[in-house]
Amino acid sequence: MPKREVTYNPPSLLAVLPILAIAVSSIIIACILIFILVLCYRNWSKIKAGWAWFSGLQPDQNSTGVQFLRGSKIPGIKDAMRPNIHPLRRIAWLALTLALFLTGVQWSRQLYGKLTENPTVLVFDETTLPVDRVTYPEIQIYKRSNFIATKIEEFKELHNDARFAPVHDSDNIEWQKEETTALLYTINHICNPLDPEIIWNNESESSNAKNIIPNLRHADIFEYDENSPNKTFIKTKLIPKLKQAIPSCTGDNGIIKACVWGSKRIDCNDAITDIITDTGAACAFNRMASSISGKHDTIKTHLADEKVCNQSESELYLNKHNDLNLRTPSNRTSTCKEQAHPYQDKIPLTQKYAGPRFGFGFVAQFDLDNTVCPQNDGLAYILGITSIYDELNADTGGVKILLNHDVKIILEAVITISEKDIKKLDRGDRDCILAKPDKNPPDFYQFYTQENCIKECKSEAIFKKCNCSLAGLSNKPGRKLCTTLDDTICAAKIQNDGVNCPKCLPGCSHIAYKVASIISVPYDEKTAPAIVKEMTGNALYTSRVQIGFNVHQMLVMEKQVKYEWTDIIGKFYFSQKKKIL
């Protein structure tokens, strides 16, 4: 067997240093102790005299402070002030009492922290709000058709003329073939975005999108993007042209002939905003500016006829409130009160008194001949009633109003308000989402609401499957619109199959509106309301509508957070046990 060689490595200096440090420290400590013992031995007589003096120290039992402390019900302090006890014993009692007091304060702080920072119980409390503090809804009056037929024919002729060379329109603006193609495709998309068969005129004949104009099947139209080269075309050509083809809300040829708020006539030009939704063109009252409520400019926001004061006041309101303010309206700016909307001093609008005549009322007149792209069938139009923070789904949240009828709509508000402490609950425990959520905020909207979340969810589902988006839904800049026939069929299938949006929980503070009752009375030339005769001259296809709350107090469900004491003590006990272990 070969010999095993053993090598010896002497310890390095670094390995010896800790041992030397311990040895030196021990010697120093021993020297200090020896010095103290020698010092005490030499001064033992003085130490004995000092101890006798200290032992004889006693508080003056006749002093006010001592008598007050002796009368205390706290055992440690009372015992410390007794006469004829050794000072060390007195100090021990005071130290023990102080230690117990500080421990109690520390535990109380921890218990209170767990109470306020980790609530575990969500409860509902009922309260009421007067009608003049309840936010009035946004009213959307749909135009019954999305475009004017004569304008569509004019645009089709413009496209035909531009097939071989650039042409100028009636406004002396030059158009290329690609630009007129984009114009027609965008109109086609807004007309009926989920219907592959588009009705372009008043005839019963339908045609596929690919057959409207030759060679239009493969054009790609993209959403507005501030950083894209197409923004100039959209802002200077496409949007102005589309506005010419969409029926006006106000003016001599407008749909809305008269407006009433709080039983007083108001100027419709100031009160009404032209908007585009996923259902089509509409006129909105009490509209929060879409350019403020949304994070991105889109074709939809550019088509909205936003008022300057509407934008500035909406921005002011958004900056002031991190969460939805459903309790107290804000004062309007003095400048805007002088320029527009002199009928209201606060935003959002609130109804001053109960009764539908103190809400919003209007007279509408429709042209059923020169129209194209109908939004609904029959002699009726859609009226949307929604929160100012929501995008209305007119297919499920709209009310059909018959023409030649005098209509009164009684509303009820369903209000949920949450305490600020609800933010301390996990999202799963509170079962709602904050208007300005800390995690996963809305991509398009400034405020989170359940309706807005569903809009974004549908838009994302269509984009993922079809690689395109709908102009009327919440959208991101630069995405391709679903303008071709194949895109439309794909998007329509997703819409018809339904989209599941499990993450779209209700908002923690939100307001919804229910139609409690509708009173609809038909009229003719003789029985028409006076305001209808005055504003329309007894024309056909009119209606008068009044919308308002009919009660003086609204029920409010208030979400509150609580912490059960059994949970507090249990969690605190186990947390302290973990620290000890």
How far apart, in whole angstroms, are the C-alpha atoms of residue 274 and residue 307? 10
How far apart, in whole angstroms, are the C-alpha atoms of residue 173 and residue 155? 13
How far apart, in whole angstroms, are the C-alpha atoms of residue 251 and residue 237? 23
**Most distant CA pair in the chain, distance:** 130
Beta-strand relationship, 272-276 and 330-331: unpaired
Q: What does DSSP assign to residue 288? A: P
Alpha helical stretches, state H, 259-307: 268-271, 290-293, 299-303
Alpha helical stretches, state H, 118-264: 149-161, 177-191, 231-233, 239-245
How far apart, in whole angstroms, are the C-alpha atoms of residue 285 and residue 310? 11
The count of C-alpha atoms lying within 13 angstroms of the C-alpha of 295, restricted to the half-sphere facing its C-beta, is 14
Select from 208, 202, 205, 209 the least CA-distant residue to 181: 209
**Can you give the pLDDT at residue 51?**
66
Select from 505, 515, 332 the least CA-distant residue to 432: 505
Q: Which residues contact 520 (CB under 8 A, 6 or more apart)?
A: 401, 402, 405, 406, 407, 408
Identity of the residue numbered 547: I
Kindly compute the dihedral angle of the four CA atoms of residues 526, 527, 533, 534, in this order, to the nearest 10 degrees: 120
Element (H or E) spanning 316, and its range?
helix 308-320
How far apart, in whole angstroms, are the C-alpha atoms of residue 35 and residue 25? 15
**Can you give the pLDDT at residue 361?**
95
**Can you give the pLDDT at residue 87?**
73
CA angle 354, 347, 341 (to 5 degrees): 85
Question: Are the beta carbons of 370 and 150 closer than 8 angstroms?
Answer: yes
Select from 260, 193, 172, 186 the least CA-distant residue to 221: 186
- The DSSP bridge partners found for residue 374 are 145
Question: Are the beta carbons of 232 and 174 closer than 8 angstroms?
Answer: no
**Can you give the pLDDT at residue 518?**
95
Q: Which residues contact 339 (CB under 8 A, 6 or more apart)?
A: 308, 309
Identity of the residue numbered 298: T
The count of C-alpha atoms lying within 13 angstroms of the C-alpha of 547, restricted to the half-sphere facing its C-beta, is 27
Tens of pLDDT, residue by residue, the chain (581 residues): 444 454 555 556 666 677 788 888 889 988 988 888 888 777 777 777 766 666 666 676 777 776 677 667 677 666 767 777 777 777 777 778 788 888 888 877 776 666 555 555 566 778 888 988 888 998 999 988 888 888 988 998 998 898 889 999 988 999 988 888 888 888 888 877 666 554 333 333 333 333 333 344 456 778 877 777 778 888 889 989 999 999 999 988 899 999 999 888 988 888 888 888 877 889 999 887 665 567 778 888 888 876 655 555 555 555 555 555 555 556 666 656 555 555 666 667 888 899 999 999 999 999 888 888 888 778 899 999 988 878 777 666 689 999 999 999 999 998 888 877 777 777 767 788 887 777 778 888 877 888 888 888 888 999 999 988 888 777 788 888 887 778 888 888 888 888 888 888 888 888 889 999 999 999 998 899 999 998 888 788 999 999 999 999 988 888 777 655 555 555 555 454 444 43
- The DSSP bridge partners found for residue 273 are 284
Q: Is the dihedral of CA 381, 382, 388, 393 positive or negative?
A: negative
**Can you give the pLDDT at residue 346?**
64
* Tokens read off for 257: 């002939």
Question: Are the beta carbons of 388 and 135 closer than 8 angstroms?
Answer: yes
| Phi, psi values for residue 430, rounded to 5° | -85, -15
How far apart, in whole angstroms, are the C-alpha atoms of residue 397 and residue 107? 53
Q: Which residues contact 93 (CB under 8 A, 6 or more apart)?
A: 76, 77, 79, 80
Q: Which residues contact 431 (CB under 8 A, 6 or more apart)?
A: 122, 505, 506
**Can you give the pLDDT at residue 2?**
47
How far apart, in whole angstroms, are the C-alpha atoms of residue 160 and residue 167? 10
Q: Which of helix, strand or coil describes residue 130?
A: strand
* Tokens read off for 174: 């030059």
Question: Are the beta carbons of 432 and 506 closer than 8 angstroms?
Answer: yes
**Can you give the pLDDT at residue 215?**
41
CA angle 336, 341, 346 (to 5 degrees): 75
* Tokens read off for 507: 């908002």
